[in-house]
Chain A
Amino acid sequence: MLSFLLFSISRAWQGFWRNAAMSIAATATMTLMLMLLAGFWIIQAGFLASLSYVEDKVGVVADLNDGVSDAALQDLESRLSTMPEVKSVEYISKEEALQRYRAQRQAQGQDDLTGYLADNPLPASIEVKLRRPEDYAAVTSFLQTDKSIAKVQNIKDTTDRLVSITTFLRTFGVVLLGVIGAIVLFIVINTIRLAVLGRAEEIEVMRLVGASDAFIRWPFVFEGALVGLLGAAITLGVLVGAAEPLSHFMVGFFQILPISIGSISRDVTLLVVGAGTGLGVVGAWVSVRTYLIR
């Protein structure tokens, strides 16, 4: 078994270098396809992060009656926090509301008119952040029944539209990734098929001298894996080289979005190495199969 393994690997190595032109062509195609896949994966990750960033902004805002006691407020907050739909609850006091209003007016370049008022007219409020924007209705109806609440802001229309848009975009992204994946699969498998086709004579001779299927198949499978690993290594090298200038360029983007570069690079590494090896192995397996089954 071990000698068979050594035999297959050394034959794969030999086969790769003795047919260098074909091997390099296959590796180049593999590399380009893996880059396409990785590039798209990264874009998709950024895209999904942007969607969650937007969705995170959806919250149910409820104005409180003036003079609600601290105890009632705390009770309301704790009951909200235990709801499964709720991510976080924030209390905004009357003073904070006024400050926010002033800051907003200033940012818009408009005069601060609040100085003319004797009293702070803005109500205190609570902002409930949701785990999923679709759940706004449950939280809204809960808040409406509470007697500390003066009014729950109606976000039905905006949220419904947002949810339908994000759902569409998510589905579209997944479909697109699937299509790209299928294209990559076909192109890589066909390239390997061509490389194997160029060695049809060698396979024919092996068959005729009585090589068993395993002896014919495994060297090609290892060679396919070699092409895949080499393609993956080149792809990762290029990505690492590109990461520094790119992240410098997109630093603002990454600061805003809830996106972790660590988890993305881990995912992309797994994707590139896995897809490269897998495609190489599967491509070689199915290509050699054509010659084995008679």
Chain B
Amino acid sequence: METGFPAGLSAANGYGVFDTRRAVLVLEDVTKTYPNGRDALRDVDLVVPEGDFVFLVGASGAGKSTLMKLLIRDELPTQGTVTLDGDDVARLPRRKVPMVRRKIGIVFQDFKLLPRKTVRENIAFALEVTGTSRRRIRPAVDRVLSLVGLTRQAEQYPHQLSGGEQQRTAIARALVHDPKIVIADEPTGNLDPLISWEILQLLLRINELGVTVLMATHDADVVTALRKRVVALEEGRVIRDEIGGGYHRTG
């Protein structure tokens, strides 16, 4: 199913002209209320076309994490719809949820690497557990290893690696099953500025290869310097969505 742009949404994304690219991710009027009554997201509309690079900014508790959880269907929206690559994730039967997650590559602040597996095994793991044949795993892993520049470290364990190398391993794992979109939740949060830039360069390169990237971050310098699309959340609402914006409201 091809998802076109819902009317009225394209104007809000800051492009100014009607965007004809295919939308990888569409949030329509999404509200998420947790059982304790707190509204984590309120009436959020967001369209991410294929190939976009989007920064998601906002203070802690502004709703970034909740938004990420909705995308991977860890949580369901209380209201509205989340559409990923044409699938309404809330309506998917349980057994199809893994198929949707395979279209997403997820990168975390704390890497979430398995300590008893080598770099290669950590990356291959993502394919093994989705039933990929051994024959196809090895070349795929080699490809992403060279993409993130870890070919030499392939047989090392996570504790033998620097923070930046660990995050590159996590990015390689997120990429190995050819996702439509990479979602990075504060990927540079645990890294020093220089390494953060390396990671960001890597994400930009991946974006250039055609993968859509959605990155939540606190890092104002990075956001301001890169002049990419910025979606700002405050108390669960989208308060700003513009291309080339800074971390803070400009003007």
Contacts and interface: CB of A to CB of B under 8 A. Distances in A.
B112 A212 contact: no
Could you tell me the dominant secondary structure of chain A's interface residues? helix
Q: Point out which of A18, A205, A206, A207 has the most chain B C-beta atoms below 10 A from its C-beta.
A: A205
B108 to A, nearest CB: 9
A211 B130 CA distance: 5
B114 A4 contact: no
A213 interface: yes
Given A215-B129, A215-B130, A208 B95 contact: no
A294 B102 contact: no
Contacts of A211: 98, 129-130
A3, A206, A213 — which one has the most chain B CB atoms within 10 A of its CB?
Answer: A206
A7 B130 CA distance: 11
Contacts of A66: none
B86 to A, nearest CB: 17
Interface residues of B, number: 23
A18 B116 contact: yes
B114 A209 contact: no
Contacts of A11: 128
A4 B125 CA distance: 15
B126 interface: yes
A3 B134 CA distance: 10
B98 A210 contact: yes
Contacts of A160: none
A283 to B, nearest CB: 21
Given A201-B112, A201-B114, A204-B112, A209 B131 contact: no
Interface string B96-128: 001111101010000010101000000001101
Interface of B: 72, 74, 94-95, 98-102, 104, 106, 112, 114, 116, 125-126, 128-131, 133, 173, 177
20 contacts: A3-B133, A7-B131, A11-B128, A201-B112, A202-B114, A205-B112, A205-B114, A206-B125, A209-B101, A209-B130, A210-B99, A210-B101, A210-B177, A211-B130, A212-B95, A212-B98, A212-B131, A213-B98, A215-B131, A294-B74
